Structure 1
Amino acid sequence: MKNDGIKEVAIDDSGRLCIFPETEKFTYIYRTATEVHWDNKDMFLYSPKPREWSYLDWYKHIINVVKNECYCNLSLTKNTLFTNIPEILKKEILAL
């Protein structure tokens, strides 16, 4: 199993949760049919805009899909940036 840090966690202008790995690329993650996608231009994983799930649910889902389907542990680092993330969500993510 590979390990990679998370460079940034963000909510973009479209309302998608975005997770930027430090080095790994997940070009074929769409094949998992889990609604987790990869932006090949800007190199990040993303969810659809939340409908029924919260942002925290999507964060956990993305991390689990990457672990179980792509065999890579993504983890926060002391340098992880949080962009456009409400403080309460940041605290919930850090508590995981």
Structure 2
Amino acid sequence: MKNEIIEKIVVNEKRELILKIMGNGRSIYQYVYREAAGVYWDNNQKAFKSTSINEWTVSQWFFHIKDILKLSLNVELTIDKNVDWENISDEEKRKIKTHYNTG
């Protein structure tokens, strides 16, 4: 299993959840769209992203992306202890951090 570390978690102006990883990623990441699960690889940002967040919360999308990557690409996402959060509510941060026990 490949491990990727998330350095930045953002909800952008299009209401997409962006999970920017450290490093450049791998070319196989571009194929995650084939799962038809609303998860994509953005090669310019070196990040995984969701479709527009409408009915789900940020944390629901986060865990959905995490699960899709694990199942389809054999990639485990972890978050850096100094992850940069942008446009994420404290409640949603807490839900994600609790999963990783990072306080």
TM-score (norm: length of structure 1)? 0.91
Q: Which of 28, 35, 39 is matched with 2:38 structurally? A: 35
| Separation (CA, whole Å) in 2 of partners of 1:14 and 1:53 | 15
CA shift, 1:27, in A, is 1.4
Please list the CA deviations of residues 30-78 of structure 1 after superposition, one character each: whole Å capped at 9, or x if unmatched. Answer: 1111110111211211111222222111100000111111101110121
Long gaps (5+) in structure 2: none
For the aligned residue pairs, the C-alpha RMSD in angstroms reads: 1.2
Q: Which of 73, 77, 88 is matched with 1:74 structurally? A: 77
TM-score (norm: length of structure 2)? 0.86
Give the secondary-structure state (helix, strand or coil) at the position aligned to 1:27: helix
Long gaps (5+) in structure 1: none
Please list the CA deviations of residues 6-27 of structure 1 after superposition, one character each: whole Å capped at 9, or x if unmatched. Answer: 1111100111111011132421
The answer to which structure has the higher helix fraction is 2
- Partner residue in 2 for 1:6: 6
Is the CA contact (8 Å cut-off) linking 2:58 and 2:88 kept in structure 1?
no
| Separation (CA, whole Å) in 2 of partners of 1:79 and 1:69 | 27
Paired residue type of 1:38: W
Number of residues of Structure 1 aligned to a counterpart in Structure 2 = 96
Q: Does 1:61 align with 2:64?
A: yes
Identity %: 28
| Separation (CA, whole Å) in 1 of partners of 2:87 and 2:57 | 15
Q: Which runs of 4+ in 1 moved over 2 A?
A: none
| Separation (CA, whole Å) in 1 of partners of 2:97 and 2:60 | 14
